[in-house]
Amino acid sequence: MKFSILKENLNSALFIARHITGRNVNLPILNNVMIEAKDGNVKLISTNLEIGIIHSIRGKVEKEGSFTVDSKVMTDYVNLLPNKRIDIEKKDDNLAIECENYKTKINGQSAEEYPPIPIIDKSNYYSAKIEDFKKALTQVVFAVSTSETRLELSGVFFDFNSDKLILAATDSYRLAEKEVSIKNSSKNNQQSIIVPARTLQELIRILSGLKDSDDGGDEDEIKFYISDNQILFTIKSTELISRLIEGQYPDYKQIIPTNTKTSALINRTELIRAVKASSLFSKISINDVNLDIPKGKNQAVVSSTSDQAGESIVNLEASTNGEDNGVVVNYRYLLDGLNNIDGENVRVEIIDNNTPCLLRSEKDKNYLYIIMPIKQ
């Protein structure tokens, strides 16, 4: 294997591919990134057996081949090289790297020992705008469960339905749901899957690293290919493949309130400030704050009290409707929702203090966030 490549291109490829590698004691080769030179392209390939990444970059290939080297050593060394052309060649059991006055040899392992990346049929796919999809992921993935007791809750629910995709996540204490427009090349108009949160966090990282100048035309789309137990995301020259979570996602729709007795339209920034102020006086480990909407006063009251710290009461201007009402919620969950809602104002809807509190954006009708109440 022998090829030449610009440092900038190799650096960006290592940023994408290296992140999922790590210190694996049982299978040390998983600490490596595989470099493959073939058909005039250079590919960097990595896997942790749950997620696989393939990133293609331009390079001048003189001799085809493949080899694996420690991803951290490779990344750290390339970072220190001049911003010039890098010549790379496989020699015996190491990778020879030259860049101007820098020369090194990095020990590695044969690519034949590297776990293969699964291949998924690409005849049918869904696609979405990159920015829309990235935004939707960030608005729901934070609500997944971090517990391993219910694996299906440790992922995000993808519900494909013709030309729309509904993303949902819950840890049973709160729920986030977002609808995104998609294109559908598949004959299968409806299917649902559960994608691990770790996969989507890695995908968000890759999407966030895309250069704005790369966007344009079909290039600003992300495509999804689905098999029985795998999903493949393709973004420009990057492919990310992941296993799916098996199991049945709970019927979360039944907990979304279909009506409301009290609603308030509140400035989102002021509500966040009030919640943060009251959180200083919430009870330790309970994290409780009161959200009250008095009838006919056009205001919302955020308050909390604890024997140790004292109390806080904040009166906010609001456009209210309905009866006198209130709910006690975990301020951390409330702030998570408020920070992911777009627009200047947020609509808070309450039935009573024993049912979920619903937050909606005044601006985005395709996003909702629900918090279970703390029962007194």
How confident is the model at residue 213, as a pLDDT?
Answer: 40
How confident is the model at residue 218, as a pLDDT?
Answer: 60
Distances (CA, A) of 171 to 194, 255, 316, 335, 343: 14, 13, 30, 16, 25
Residue type present at position 13: A
- Report how far apart the first and last C-alpha atoms of the chain are (Å, whole number): 68
Distances (CA, A) of 101 to 11, 63, 79: 18, 23, 15
How confident is the model at residue 187, as a pLDDT?
Answer: 66
Distances (CA, A) of 178 to 190, 325, 366: 17, 27, 6
Distances (CA, A) of 173 to 1, 85, 146, 294, 347: 53, 53, 12, 25, 20
pLDDT mean for each 10 residues of the chain (376 residues) = 96 93 85 94 95 95 96 96 96 95 96 94 92 97 92 96 94 97 81 96 93 56 94 96 96 93 97 97 93 95 93 96 96 97 96 95 94 90
Helices 197-208 & 130-140 angle (0-180, nearest 10): 140
Local structure of residue 124 (DSSP, 8 states)? S
DSSP for 189-214 reads: -EEEEEEEHHHHHHHHHHHHTS-GGG
Q: 264 pairs with which residues across the strands? A: 320, 348
How confident is the model at residue 228, as a pLDDT?
Answer: 87
Assessment of whether the complete model's pTM goes beyond 0.85: yes
Distances (CA, A) of 299 to 289, 312, 319: 16, 16, 7
